[in-house]
Chain A
């Protein structure tokens, strides 16, 4: 309950009056909303089935029939990008949400409790951080098999140590502030200290971290797909689409350009939005 109250107090809705929300932030939000709609309704709009070979030519250019051209097997790129949105946006958002939530909760707890708890947790997560991410993905997928929940959890596990480190560093700074000491002297619990005293004050940088980590996750997801460990064919996420059509690069095929454009617009707009969140205008004289 307290957590939602904090969020409501700190996360302003752009619609409310008295907020300043600049153009970059608004543009970012619009693009995110656009891709979110595509992720939900895209498959309904796609002109062809994403796995169906519809053109006898491969890497064909943009045309009235195939708006974004066709890929290396002659499949319709528009349909494949619409399909890929669901994987890229869905998996990455789910993974980044889990990563940052877990990282921030653990980081704040470690900062507030300190001592051996902090030490053990930090060393454990450092050890996890030491495993190369693709290798880690390879082992997990080989052991459990590839499915979307497995992918989400694997990606989250790869990035939790980083998110933890970042959140802990922020929380340690806030933890030494007098208002936290006052709350501690009052006899407050660790949970209260973390969620009410520390969390609102690290939210800004944490959101910025979320934006960066989102991009990393999109990239690792496409890396996993390229290795055949990610989204399984005939489906593919955007990163996978770039990888499988890479030979088309020398032909200037739209099949390699448009998935890249899709990744770029999504990641850039996420960062534009997060760096330019609506700010409440507070003026002392009013």
Chain B
């Protein structure tokens, strides 16, 4: 075996908490990266994957510090280097592609100036040469108009293009090692394909090694040679991509893989039982939008002519990419964004467009749960107060009775009762999402509008939430309107699926065998873009370029 490019031995990274307690984030991690190899670090949030990746540049996030071990890159000991030495290393030998390119680019400077900044800082080459090299990289990354894209500003290119430009920025210094920190997590699936392909070919051309941080096994399977599975700051398993995917040894790896397998939802028998003839929700010709209203229609029309019905006890999935209007649909139904045309009937009762005109009882029946539990829970209130409020508001429950009910609700979402004294900031992401859901349950709703509630969670945690939702549905006779961009999640919980594109419903499908029955070209494109747990998937994927041009938001 050749000399490894990167060698990490017994790496330890620690931090000190507010109370002065010392915690170890990375607990003795060792691995090697060979020249030209791409190694994926995979694990859930808090597993230390980004912390390890950043430490390869000799960087520890504020409050953390590399407390032990040795990191060597091409024979140089990064851990023993001075800060100046590390600064010289960054950009030229090790470079970084961030998760959010939109946040990493300066909106006030042209793209070219930012891409070649590294060559300027490290005095690598004259400006003209750097620009020529940048254009070459733009071409290698399959960016449109490689000669002139550099003269644009960051807001003038799409999210997927910006992510590829940030890769160009990382590659311009000719690094030996490129760190990709979840670079496609924030992108839509159809965009993700293009970005992954570009990364893969650019890395193959450049011959640099890579570290790819992700929580998505399917994405990693397309690009990595080797996978390191992390949990709680320790390596659980390390192996080639094929081995990890097909012959996982560690139970945690198997849990990760199991969470990926869609478990099709046993569909509730379709309508027809006479006891409940009314659908729980029926939406007809719904239109909604933003901006000043003229001629009875707002300036930016987001939802156009959406109609569907959902029978009691069944679940409806809404899928689509960002900007398809799926979240707006939930907001319009809840009355947060009053629709300007069309009707919403909940259990046969017509809802007024604006929620301010709806009665408490009408509001209680349909509850909305938002994607980000971080922003959906008031950081200043204890969990007990957050869950207690809907009890007091809808049911007039106070004091002892309310407290008992809060404990009951926490138990329903499988959280311990003493959590009610904590603040949201003191819970993990999965716990917060459970509290977020419990708050909706506190109202005793009949319909729950779930807006991407598992999207911000790790695969294993998301799978547990889905199981919880199914269980609660059986117990409490709920119906879900489940909005997601993740088809496997939708498949796992929904009976029917609406595919949305640019504010319109393009197709309604049964959730089972979605891929077989999809007839609309956009549905087919969307379904074929979902990464599969198969190393050859990206290479063998063929999409009609005409279709891609028509529908993908690249």
Whether B378 lies near A200 (C-beta < 8 A) is yes
Complex CA gap A177/B380 in Å reads: 13
Whether A187 lies near B363 (C-beta < 8 A) is yes
Whether B363 lies near A179 (C-beta < 8 A) is no
Choose from B21, B367, B375, B443 the contact partner of A178 (Cβ within 8 Å).
B375
Whether A188 lies near B393 (C-beta < 8 A) is yes
Q: Considering only CB atoms, which chain B residue lies closest to A20 in the complex?
A: B18
When distances are taken between beta carbons in the complex, the residues of chain A under 8 Å from B336 are 181, 184-185
Complex CA gap A77/B390 in Å reads: 61
Say whether A40 faces chain B, with CB atoms less than 8 Å apart. no
Say whether B379 faces chain A, with CB atoms less than 8 Å apart. yes
When distances are taken between beta carbons in the complex, the residues of chain A under 8 Å from B389 are 183, 186
For the complex formed, measure the closest distance between the CB of A166 and the CB atoms of chain B, giving whole angstroms: 19
How many A-B contacts at CB < 8 Å in the complex? 60
Complex CA gap A181/B335 in Å reads: 11
Whether A284 lies near B370 (C-beta < 8 A) is no
Q: Considering only CB atoms, which chain B residue lies closest to A197 in the complex?
A: B378
For the complex formed, measure the closest distance between the CB of B290 and the CB atoms of chain A, giving whole angstroms: 13
Known: A187-B360, A283-B17, A283-B21. A178 touches B355 (CB 8 A): no
Say whether B376 faces chain A, with CB atoms less than 8 Å apart. yes
Whether B423 lies near A282 (C-beta < 8 A) is yes
Whether B378 lies near A185 (C-beta < 8 A) is no
Say whether A144 faces chain B, with CB atoms less than 8 Å apart. no
Q: Considering only CB atoms, which chain A residue lies closest to B394 in the complex?
A: A186
| A239-286 CB contacts (< 8 Å) to partner B | 281-286
Whether A187 lies near B372 (C-beta < 8 A) is no
For the complex formed, measure the closest distance between the CB of B19 and the CB atoms of chain A, giving whole angstroms: 4
Q: Considering only CB atoms, which chain A residue lies closest to B366 in the complex?
A: A185
When distances are taken between beta carbons in the complex, the residues of chain B under 8 Å from A284 are 426
Say whether B116 faces chain A, with CB atoms less than 8 Å apart. no
Q: Considering only CB atoms, which chain B residue lies closest to A18 in the complex?
A: B19
When distances are taken between beta carbons in the complex, the residues of chain B under 8 Å from A197 are 378
Per-residue CB contact flags for chain B residues 475-486 toward chain A (1 = under 8 Å, else 0) read 000000000000
Whether A179 lies near B18 (C-beta < 8 A) is no
Whether B375 lies near A177 (C-beta < 8 A) is yes
For the complex formed, measure the closest distance between the CB of A86 and the CB atoms of chain B, giving whole angstroms: 36
When distances are taken between beta carbons in the complex, the residues of chain A under 8 Å from B367 are 185
Whether B334 lies near A187 (C-beta < 8 A) is no
Say whether A22 faces chain B, with CB atoms less than 8 Å apart. no
Say whether B381 faces chain A, with CB atoms less than 8 Å apart. yes
For the complex formed, measure the closest distance between the CB of A281 and the CB atoms of chain B, giving whole angstroms: 5
Whether B363 lies near A185 (C-beta < 8 A) is yes
When distances are taken between beta carbons in the complex, the residues of chain B under 8 Å from A282 are 18, 423, 426
Whether A186 lies near B363 (C-beta < 8 A) is yes
Complex CA gap A283/B336 in Å reads: 36
Say whether B368 faces chain A, with CB atoms less than 8 Å apart. yes
For the complex formed, measure the closest distance between the CB of A261 and the CB atoms of chain B, giving whole angstroms: 36
Whether B21 lies near A182 (C-beta < 8 A) is no
Known: A186-B393, A285-B21. A178 touches B423 (CB 8 A): no
Complex CA gap A284/B18 in Å reads: 10
Q: Considering only CB atoms, which chain B residue lies closest to A286 in the complex?
A: B19
Per-residue CB contact flags for chain B residues 1-45 toward chain A (1 = under 8 Å, else 0) read 000000000000000011101000000000000000000000000
Whether B380 lies near A200 (C-beta < 8 A) is yes
Whether A182 lies near B368 (C-beta < 8 A) is yes
When distances are taken between beta carbons in the complex, the residues of chain B under 8 Å from A187 are 355, 358, 360, 363, 393
What are 26 of the A-B contact pairs (CB < 8 Å)?
Answer: A9-B380, A178-B370, A178-B376, A179-B376, A179-B378, A181-B336, A181-B370, A183-B389, A184-B336, A184-B355, A185-B335, A185-B363, A185-B367, A186-B390, A187-B355, A187-B358, A187-B360, A187-B363, A196-B381, A200-B378, A201-B378, A281-B18, A282-B18, A283-B17, A283-B18, A284-B426
**A188-B393, A201-B380 given; 13 more Cβ-contact pairs under 8 Å:** A20-B18, A178-B375, A179-B377, A181-B336, A181-B370, A182-B370, A185-B336, A186-B389, A186-B394, A197-B378, A200-B380, A201-B379, A286-B19
10 interchain residue pairs of minimum CB distance: A200-B380, A178-B376, A283-B19, A179-B378, A178-B375, A178-B370, A187-B363, A284-B426, A177-B375, A281-B19
B→A interface (CB under 8 Å): 17-19, 21, 334-336, 355, 358, 360, 363, 367-368, 370, 372, 375-381, 389-390, 393-394, 423, 426, 439, 443
